[in-house]
Amino acid sequence: MSFTGLNLRGAFAIFKNELMRAFRTIFGSILSPVITTSLYLVVFGAAMADRMPGLGASNYGAFIVPGLLMLTLLSESTSNASFGIYMPKFTGAIYELLSAPVGVAETLIGFVGAAVAKSLILAAIILVTAALIVDYSIAHPILALGYIMLVAASFSLFGFILGIWADGFEKLQIVPLLILTPLTFLGGTFYPVSVLPEPWKTVTMVNPIVYLVNGLRWTFLGESDFPIAVSFGFTLGFLAICIAIIAYIFKTGWRLRE
- What's the pLDDT tens digit per position in 3-59? 446 788 888 989 998 888 877 777 777 888 889 898 888 887 766 766 666 665 458
The tally of domains found in the chain comes to 1
Indicate whether 231 belongs to any domain. Answer: yes
pLDDT tens per residue, range 200-221:
888 888 999 999 999 999 999 9
Indicate whether 164 belongs to any domain. Answer: yes
Indicate whether 2 belongs to any domain. Answer: no
Residue 122 is predicted with a pLDDT of 93
Nearest-angstrom CA–CA distance, 193 and 205 = 9
Indicate whether 233 belongs to any domain. Answer: yes
Indicate whether 187 belongs to any domain. Answer: yes
For 222, left (φ over 0), alpha (ψ -120 to 50), or beta?
left
Whether 9 contacts 108, CB under 8 Å: no
Indicate whether 93 belongs to any domain. Answer: yes
Indicate whether 114 belongs to any domain. Answer: yes
Peptide bond into 199 cis (omega under 30): yes
Indicate whether 125 belongs to any domain. Answer: yes
Whether residue 1 is predicted with pLDDT greater than 50 in this model: the reply is no
Average pLDDT, the chain: 87
Question: Which range of residues forms the domain containing residue 93?
Answer: 8-252
Handedness of CA 240, 241, 242, 246 (dihedral sign): positive
Whether 213 contacts 66, CB under 8 Å: yes
Whether 184 contacts 108, CB under 8 Å: no
Which of 5-19, 53-67, 160-174 is predicted with the least confidence, judged by mean pLDDT? 53-67
* Apex 75 CA angle, 227 and 85, nearest 5: 120
Residue 54 is predicted with a pLDDT of 60
